[in-house]
Amino acid sequence: MKKLSAILLLLPLFVTAQKKTDPATFAKTITTDDLKKHLYIVASKEMEGRETATPGQKKAAAYIESQFKSLGLIPGNNGDYQMHYGVYQDSLLGASVEVNGKMFELDKDFALNVGQTNTSTYRFSEIVFVGNGVVDSMHDDYKGLDVRGKAVLMLAGQQQPGRGGFGNQFARIDAAQKNGAVAVLVISGNFPRSIRTNPKGNMYVNAFQRVVRPNQFQVSEKIAQAIMGDDYANAKTGQIPPKTYSAELALSFNKTTTNLQSSNVIGVLEGSDLKDEYVFVTAHYDHLGKRDTVIYYGADDDGSGTVGVLEIAEAFVKAKLAGKGPRRSMVFMTVSGEEKGLWGSAYYSNHPIFPLEKTTVDLNIDMIGRVDTSRHNGDTSNYVYVVGDDKISTDLKLISEATNKKYTRMELDYKFNDPKDPQRIYFRSDHYNFADKGVPIIFYYDGMLRGDYHRPTDTPNKINYNLLAKRAQLVFYTAWEMANRNDMLKRDLKLEVPPRGF
């Protein structure tokens, strides 16, 4: 009787504990009102489109950090909420082309890529015309020519008839370099240019290159004629073979490089008995910034994912305050640089703060606030595209679908799950840098690649907040399962990466 009485006394506590483990209580804290409140700030005019390494991006990072702090999340980078990485940008100071004493004008007679050109001054007395400058298994435009230490002049590729397969521009520049050329002039008919050279080059993160290519100038037909004389008219038709020309050619380029900085924002909710294992929930908070005075707000891309992370983090915090915190540690990370080339997530995956081998999954959210207007099957008010759940772990898809069936009952659409999909969606958001390191991932996505995508009209008033909330709740439920199951996900599948142009 005493034993039975003890069990009966413990039963209410057991039932109460069981009720507290139901994540639905905490999923309900992910509300349309809260998502809207956050998004109207993240995608506001004040954030100026959140372009990486700009004041707008830094304002957005500060806002996300303030939210992580208010939730009581632990700073994720050794006492700092932000994980900084270097970004570089070149600015043109001057450029000139001179042939036989005649000066030519930038944009009227020549152009260049500021980021791909190095500060230098060259003076050549010989310039080698190399036709299309192609070296392949069928042909070698450098055969019999000595271009070591010289400038080469080549056609744009499509100008010489009767030849196909010119390869890409980098291949032709590499062929010039392998043959010893130190500068390349590519003849173009697109002068004078209607779009002037941007004095500021594109931002980049790889300041130190394995291969520094020769400086490349796009030059007008006037410059080609100044070097080749009457031969140029026949060169366009393929009637002039490669040959060396005597001319006084001066090429000058000067730029300065500015060291900028961007950051990922990381907040951690420590787990209990499995706290040395990690569940990541990620989104990118950067967007395209502004062009002149036009702001690209990026409400769906990826303000929606960013505010989803904030609300999911809050739901987990409330669970922990109720005594039902996750077993594994939760890492909430918003990254920058996605629009530039997945920079922030690449930096993290190459400099992980938490061991990747102990990271059971990355649940990445990139655009979950709109409806794909090209989707005509199923219920467009209750779907999400799911990408990558079957690529690395045989566990993940089963768990994802069972979780959805139990809680949210959304239509999980696998349209973009094939790596051979022409849009290459699997490779276009931050989850890929985790997958590339062997971490199982799921990418949640609304498929909205038309209409307002990458336009100034991607604004908060166009978001479907009910659908945004439900999708965020699905991610929460899936993260809950990942955080509390006994075992980490198996890593028993090999990631297959198809070549481009499949």
| Confidence at residue 498, expressed as pLDDT on a 0 to 100 scale | 66
- For the chain, the farthest-separated pair of C-alpha atoms sits apart, in whole angstroms, at 113
Distance CA 140, CA 132 (A): 10
Distance CA 399, CA 7 (A): 33
| Confidence at residue 299, expressed as pLDDT on a 0 to 100 scale | 98
State the 10-residue block means of pLDDT for the chain, 502 residues long: 41 39 94 98 98 98 98 98 98 98 97 95 97 89 95 77 54 95 95 91 93 95 96 85 95 98 98 98 98 97 98 98 98 98 98 98 98 92 97 97 98 92 92 97 95 96 98 98 98 78 42
Domains and CATH numbers, the chain: 23-88+259-484 (3.40.630.10), 91-256 (3.50.30.30)
Distance CA 335, CA 332 (A): 10
Distance CA 388, CA 371 (A): 20
| Pairing, β 290-291 against β 294-295 | antiparallel
107: left (phi over 0), alpha (psi -120 to 50) or beta: left
Of 83, 62, 39, the C-alpha closest to 306 is 39
| Confidence at residue 499, expressed as pLDDT on a 0 to 100 scale | 60
Q: What is the pTM of this model?
A: 0.88
